[in-house]
Amino acid sequence: MKAREIHLASRPSGWPEPDNFRLVEVPVPALEPGQVLVRNEVMSVDPYMRGRMNDVKSYVPPFQLDAPLDGAAVGEVIASESPDRAVGDVVVHNSGWRDLAVLPAARTRVLDTKAAPATAYLGPLGGPGLTAYVGLVEIAPMKEGETVFVSGAAGAVGSLAGQIAKLRGAARVVGSAGSPSKVEYVRGLGFDAAFDYHDSPVRERLREAAPDGIDVYFDNVGGEHLEAAISALHTHGRVALCGAIAQYNATEPTPAPRNLALAIGKQLTLRGFIVTSYGHLAPAFYAEMAQWLREGRIRYDETIVDGLENAPDAFLGLLRGTNLGKMLVRV
């Protein structure tokens, strides 16, 4: 039996190109005790993967050259050498970017696909949902009645962050997105206002959308967005530094918020976070999110690309913003 895998063929400098990736066929090894063989059905591509393509020390090790990429995926167990997993179990795990994955059963989690479709575990019930939740609850704790600004609001994390803010009592939620149709989409999610950040400057668009200022900024973008948010934040405002997609492909140091010194007088808190450090909040998050999903109070959308061989294109599209909601690849 052969597996198809996407390998990192070379490290991108700036924007990744298709030839940074290579589709490789490899033999599937025999299972060792405790391992399972999973046939992946859907895999996730996420912005953070761009950072792992650089050979720099970071919070997760860089991807290795001539080895498969990895990332979240859901699939079905088709062979098991573990008493804990049965053939037919649908599981989520981190060995994406391949059609067949051999991995320890302990590194899979069995999904309740009656409660929610499997792909929800890559979105609202997965990393993106927990990231949005942790950012608003723990990192830049939002209080009822506050105004929240979310950048990248049409993306997987941003779209959930804005909805969670509303559900937790924000008075006003403003989102930015990268095209008129995305802005429409964001409004449809229940954001009170949304703007297209290509209609620069962001500072003026934000002032129109939140004329009385903001209390919390959920940053997926960095750069000009962060500067605009610092200007708009009230005293004791909070920023969750979640992503900086505007900067991931930069080859030079990127412009930083020139008004950062305002953080002193405004007593702002800017806090970076990685969701994997907040696993202790996952149980509370799952309970709340599952309830919201059952009640139909959270909307999530998926942009699905077909075929493992198109996963690099899906990833490149994600960086260019061709997705609405979660970008997934049907393997």
Binding residues vs a second copy (CB under 8 A): 51, 58-59, 222, 226, 235, 241-244, 247, 253-274, 277
State how far the alpha carbon of 147 is from the alpha carbons of 133, 151, 165, 237, in Å. Answer: 16, 13, 9, 10
Quick one: 272 or 307, whose CB is closer to a second copy?
Answer: 272
Min dist CB 41 to a second copy, Å, is 30
Min dist CB 141 to a second copy, Å, is 13
Min dist CB 271 to a second copy, Å, is 5
Quick one: 26 or 261, whose CB is closer to a second copy?
Answer: 261
Residue 320 Cα to chain centre, angstroms: 14
Answer for the pair 278, 242: CB distance below 8 angstroms, yes or no: no
The answer for residues whose C-beta is within 8 angstroms of residue 294's C-beta and 6 or more apart is: 115
- In this structure, the strands spanning 35-44 and 73-80 are antiparallel
Cα dihedral 259, 272, 298, 145, rounded to 10, equals -50
Min dist CB 139 to a second copy, Å, is 9
DSSP-assigned letter for residue 118 = G
Quick one: 4 or 266, whose CB is closer to a second copy?
Answer: 266
Quick one: 91 or 226, whose CB is closer to a second copy?
Answer: 226
Nearest to 155 by CA among 330, 299, 325, 327: 325
Ramachandran sector of residue 266 (left: φ over 0; alpha: ψ -120 to 50; beta: rest): alpha
Quick one: 144 or 264, whose CB is closer to a second copy?
Answer: 264
Min dist CB 240 to a second copy, Å, is 10
The answer for residues whose C-beta is within 8 angstroms of residue 163's C-beta and 6 or more apart is: 189, 190, 297, 298, 299
Min dist CB 309 to a second copy, Å, is 30
Quick one: 111 or 130, whose CB is closer to a second copy?
Answer: 130
Distance CA(327)–CA(264), nearest Å, equals 38
Quick one: 25 or 56, whose CB is closer to a second copy?
Answer: 56
Answer for the pair 149, 229: CB distance below 8 angstroms, yes or no: yes
Min dist CB 229 to a second copy, Å, is 12
